[in-house]
């Protein structure tokens, strides 16, 4: 396992916090510019990831689920089509290039794209340290200026051992965390979709009966969870609860998809606040609480077939909300309200799955006291430059870059794969352009 350098001479030009697709794309861009963890001609760069190995939404890698973005929006192609870190180069390396072309699709299987990410991550393994959970980031002041950040990490398996590394810049890409309704509590019977596959596998191996499962949500993950549970538990009633009248199809039409173009980020960033808000509202249907039409039609066919056969296991409880959840030793009692009439029905179920999406982690959740150095606008949102650098107090010369959590400044693609390669190139260029003052004192300690 890679161990990033530490010690008196190990001041980094950039440390990345988190190593999902966004910081992986940045690691590749830096690697292609000659970056190493050791002092050399290129930047000194490193990435810290709390997981023991690379992983991206493992709990939803359903065997037949496909990506919702083109394979050309991989880690590098939109930045450099000639890079050998592309999805096509991965296919060539795996011996499947011709086979993939014969599928006549732009959308690979999700498990295949995850394997592509793992393949790429292995090639920049020298830049990342896994099992390194960042627990604190502190400013370092010299001559009245905050020139460095000290990043403290620990191995979750050995929390007593801390390592501190000093850096001139941070790139925070800690991804999204599961969002739950207020008061919701997870348990062996109550899950979030982020853990769907391992939970289902565990349940199937146990042989425990599942009479009824309830899924809350109206987006792609909700529909996939409904379909997956229906297929894996052939004797179980699956209830899909959502406030809409029906699943909304994702708008992937050519003109709407232009909201994900790199040029659209410039338009969004420079627009007045009210225009930003309008653009976001107009194009929510490209990404939020929407479902692929193919899956909608498949679920509809299944429901109709069950009606014809007189045994309806798939039940859509539309225009409804969950009002109460009572977890008992033997089951979960879910109170569902039909909104037009206020009528309530209590469902006894063995499973409740929250398909309620994800939310970005606040900068204070990872950076602690550094959040106080970051400037905010009149709506208390972070001020972020076009190059993804957070605007900070005048005495802060060390840099903080964000990958994610910038929808308010950079638009819908902030947390999506569509502009990952381009964004990584922009941050890489900013890092290469920044001044690197000489180091005056020790950079890292261990204890």
Centroid of chain to Cα 240: 24
Rounded Cα–Cα distance for residues 420 and 24 (Å): 10
List, in sequence order, every residue forming a beta bridge with 333; answer none if it has no partner: 326, 348
Same topology for domains 11-175+361-446 and 179-250+288-354, yes or no? yes
Please say whether the dihedral angle defined by the alpha carbons of residues 226, 231, 232 and 238, taken in this order, is positive or negative.
positive
Structure-token match 């994610």, residue found: 404
* 102-114: b (≥16 Cβ within 10 Å) or e: eeeeeebbbebbb
Whole-structure pTM value: 0.92
Name, in order, each residue with C-beta under 8 angstroms of 181's C-beta and a sequence gap of 6 or more: 216, 322, 354, 356
Superfamily of domain 179-250+288-354: FAD/NAD(P)-binding domain (3.50.50.60)
Q: Where are the domains of the chain?
A: 11-175+361-446, 179-250+288-354, 256-286
Q: Dihedral of the CA atoms 176, 182, 183, 185 (nearest 10)?
A: -30
Residue 15 phi/psi, 5-degree rounding, is -120, 130
Structure-token match 């206020």, residue found: 342
pLDDT of the chain along its 447 residues, tens only? Answer: 566 766 555 799 999 999 999 999 999 999 999 988 887 667 999 999 999 999 999 999 999 999 999 999 999 999 999 999 999 999 999 999 999 999 999 999 999 999 999 999 999 999 999 999 999 999 999 999 999 999 999 998 888 889 999 999 999 998 888 999 999 999 999 999 999 999 999 999 999 999 999 999 999 999 999 999 999 999 999 999 999 999 999 888 899 889 999 999 999 999 999 999 999 888 887 888 899 999 999 999 999 999 999 999 999 999 999 999 999 988 999 999 999 999 999 999 999 999 999 987 766 666 777 888 999 999 999 999 999 999 999 999 999 999 988 999 999 888 889 999 999 999 999 999 984 444 333 344 444
Q: Is CATH 3.50.50.60 the right assignment for the domain spanning 11-175+361-446?
A: yes
Would you say 247 and 383 are in contact if contact means Cβ atoms under 8 Å apart? no
């Amino acid at each position: 396992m890679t161990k990033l350098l530490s010690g008196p001479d190990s001041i980094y030009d950039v440390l990345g916090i988190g190593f999902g697709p966004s910081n992986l794309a940045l690691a590749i861009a830096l690697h292609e510019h000659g970056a190493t963890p050791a002092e050399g001609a290129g930047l000194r760069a490193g990435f810290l990831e709390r997981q023991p190995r690379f992983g991206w939404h493992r709990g939803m890698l359903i065997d037949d689920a496909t990506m919702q973005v083109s394979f050309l929006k991989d880690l590098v192609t939109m930045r450099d089509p000639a890079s050998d870190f592309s999805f096509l180069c991965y296919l060539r390396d795996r011996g499947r290039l011709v086979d993939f072309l014969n599928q006549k699709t732009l959308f690979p299987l999700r498990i295949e794209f995850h394997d592509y990410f793992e393949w790429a991550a292995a090639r920049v393994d020298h830049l990342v340290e896994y099992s390194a959970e960042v627990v604190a980031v502190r400013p370092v002041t010299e001559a009245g200026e905050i020139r460095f950040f000290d990043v403290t990490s620990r191995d979750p398996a050995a929390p007593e051992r801390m390592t501190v590394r000093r850096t001139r810049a941070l790139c925070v890409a800690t991804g999204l965390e599961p969002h739950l309704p207020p008061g919701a509590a997870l348990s062996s019977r109550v899950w979030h979709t982020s853990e769907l596959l391992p939970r289902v596998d565990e349940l199937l191996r146990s042989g425990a009966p599942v009479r009824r499962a309830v899924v809350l949500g109206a987006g792609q993950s909700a529909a996939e969870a409904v379909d997956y549970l229906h297929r894996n538990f052939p004797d179980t009633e699956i209830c899909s609860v959502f406030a809409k009248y029906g699943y909304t199809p994702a708008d992937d039409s050519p003109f709407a998809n232009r909201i994900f173009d790199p040029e659209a980020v410039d338009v969004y960033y420079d627009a007045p606040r009210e225009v930003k808000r309008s653009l976001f509202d107009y194009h929510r249907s490209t990404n939020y609480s929407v479902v692929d039409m193919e899956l909608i039609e498949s679920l509809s066919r299944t429901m109709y077939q069950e009606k014809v056969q007189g045994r309806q296991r798939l039940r859509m409880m539309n225009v409804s909300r969950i009002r109460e959840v009572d977890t008992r030793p033997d089951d979960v009692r879910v109170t569902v309200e039909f909104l037009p009439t206020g009528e309530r029905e209590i469902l006894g179920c063995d499973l409740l799955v929250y398909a309620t999406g994800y939310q970005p982690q606040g900068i204070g959740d990872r950076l602690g006291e550094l959040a106080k150095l970051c400037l905010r606008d009149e709506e208390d949102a972070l001020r972020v430059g076009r190059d993804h650098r957070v605007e900070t107090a005048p005495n802060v010369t060390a840099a903080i870059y964000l990958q994610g959590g910038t929808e308010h400044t950079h638009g819908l693609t902030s947390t999506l794969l569509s502009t990952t390669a381009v964004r990584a190139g922009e941050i890489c260029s900013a890092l290469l352009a920044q001044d690197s003052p000489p180091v005056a004192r020790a950079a890292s300690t261990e204890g």
